Structure 1
Amino acid sequence: MKNPSTQSSTPVDPEKTDETPINEPPYHILTPRQKKQLVYIVSLAGLFSPLSSNIYFPALDTIARDLHVSVSLIALTVTSYMILQGIAPSFWSAFADSLGRRPIYISTFIVYIIANIGLAITPNFPVLMTFRAIQAAGSSATISVGAGVIADIATPAERGGFVGIYGGIRMLGQSVGPVLGGILAQFLGFRSIFDFLLIFSTLVLAFIIFFLPETHRAIAGNGTIRLRGVYRPVFQKFREEPDYLVEQDPDFKLPKISLFTIVEPLKFLFEKDVFATLLFGSVVYTVWSMVTSSTTSLFVEHYRLSQILVGCAFLPNGAGCVLGSYITGRIMDKDYKIIEQHYIKEKNLEAGTNIDRKNRADDFPIERTRMRSLWWILILFVCAVAGYGWTLNSSIAVPLILQFIIAYTATAVFNMNSALIIDLFPGKSASATAVNNLMRCSVGAAGVAVIEMIIADLGPGLAFTCLALVTFICSPLVLLEWVYGMRWRTARAERIRKKKNEEKEKPATQSG
Structure 2
Amino acid sequence: MAVGDMNPQEALGHELPLFVHSDTTTTPSNPRLGHDTDAARDQTDIEIVPAGAAAEPTAKTCDEAALCALVDELDTSETIVNMSVALYMLSMSIFPIWWSAFSEQFGRRSIYLVSFALFIVFSILCAVSTNVAMLIVFRHLSGGASTSVQVIGAGTIADIWESHDRGRAMSLFYLGPMLGPLLGPLLGGVLTQHLGWRSTMWFLAIYGFVLTVAICFLLPETLARKSEPAMTHELTRMSTRESIKVKSNEFTTALKHYLIEPPSVLLLLRFPPVFLTVLIAAIAFSSVYVLNIAIESGFAQPPYSFNQTTVGLTYMSTGMGYIVSSMVSGRWMDSIMAREARKAERYDAQGKLIYLPEDRMKENDWVTNTIYPLSLLWFGWTMYYGMQYMAPISALFVFGFSSMLHFTLGTTMLTEFVRKRSSAGVAVNNFVRNILSCVGTIVAAPWMKGAQKWRGDG
TM-score, reference length from structure 1: 0.73
Name the counterpart of 1:108: 115
For residues 269-348 of structure 1, the aligned pairs below 5 Å read: 269-302=269-302, 303-344=304-345, 347=346
- 1:407 counterpart (388, 394, 400): 400
Name the counterpart of 1:6: none
Identity %: 26
Q: CA deviation at 1:371?
A: 4.8
Read off the aligned partner of 2:59 and give its amino acid letter: S
Q: Name the SS for the 1:215 alignment partner.
A: coil
- 1:195 counterpart (178, 182, 202): 202
**Which 10-residue stretch deviates more, 175-184 or 33-42?**
33-42
CA contact 1:141–1:434 (8 Å) conserved in 2: no
Name the counterpart of 1:417: 410
Name the counterpart of 1:30: 36
Distance 2:228 2:283 in 1: 45
Distance 1:394 1:21 in 2: 51
Distance 2:363 2:333 in 1: 8
Distance 1:23 1:213 in 2: 19
Read off the aligned partner of 2:419 and give its amino acid letter: P
CA contact 2:27–2:162 (8 Å) conserved in 1: no
CA gap of 1:189–1:308, structure 2 versus 1, over 3 A, is: farther
Read off the aligned partner of 1:319 and give its amino acid letter: M
**Which 10-residue stretch deviates more, 396-405 or 18-27?**
18-27
Read off the aligned partner of 1:454 and give its amino acid letter: W
- 1:389 counterpart (380, 388, 397): 380
Read off the aligned partner of 2:339 and give its amino acid letter: I
Matched, 1:251 2:226: no
Distance 1:289 1:182 in 2: 17
CA gap of 1:189–1:25, structure 2 versus 1, over 3 A, is: closer
Q: Name the SS for the 2:344 alignment partner.
A: helix
Name the counterpart of 1:482: none
CA contact 1:58–1:296 (8 Å) conserved in 2: no
Q: CA deviation at 1:49?
A: 1.8
Q: List structure 1 runs of 4+ shifted beyond 6 angstroms.
A: 20-25, 348-351
For residues 485-496 of structure 1, the aligned pairs below 5 Å read: none
Distance 2:402 2:454 in 1: 20
Read off the aligned partner of 1:375 and give its amino acid letter: W
For residues 3-82 of structure 1, the aligned pairs below 5 Å read: 15=5, 26=31, 28=33, 30-32=36-38, 34-39=40-45, 40-71=47-78, 73-82=80-89
CA contact 1:180–1:311 (8 Å) conserved in 2: no
- 1:367 counterpart (345, 349, 358): 358
Deviations 1:452-509 (A, max 9, x none): 11211233998xxxxxxxxxxxxxxxxxxxxxxxxxxxxxxxxxxxxxxxxxxxxxxx
Tell me the number of residue pairs that the alignment of Structure 1 and Structure 2 aligns.
Answer: 410
Unaligned runs of 5+ in 1: 1-13, 220-247, 356-363, 463-512
Unaligned runs of 5+ in 2: 7-21, 232-252
CA contact 1:300–1:310 (8 Å) conserved in 2: yes
Name the counterpart of 1:437: 430
Name the counterpart of 1:459: 452
Q: CA deviation at 1:81?
A: 1.9
CA contact 2:26–2:353 (8 Å) conserved in 1: no
CA contact 1:167–1:322 (8 Å) conserved in 2: no
Read off the aligned partner of 1:251 and give its amino acid letter: A
Distance 2:313 2:29 in 1: 52
Q: CA deviation at 1:290?
A: 0.8
**Which 10-residue stretch deviates more, 108-117 or 367-376?**
367-376
CA contact 1:85–1:137 (8 Å) conserved in 2: yes
CA contact 1:320–1:406 (8 Å) conserved in 2: yes
Name the counterpart of 2:352: 353
CA gap of 1:174–1:452, structure 2 versus 1, over 3 A, is: closer
For residues 116-265 of structure 1, the aligned pairs below 5 Å read: 116-219=123-226, 248-249=227-228, 251=230, 256=254, 257-265=257-265
Q: CA deviation at 1:170?
A: 4.3
Name the counterpart of 2:249: none
Read off the aligned partner of 1:416 and give its amino acid letter: L
CA contact 2:347–2:353 (8 Å) conserved in 1: no
CA contact 2:60–2:85 (8 Å) conserved in 1: yes
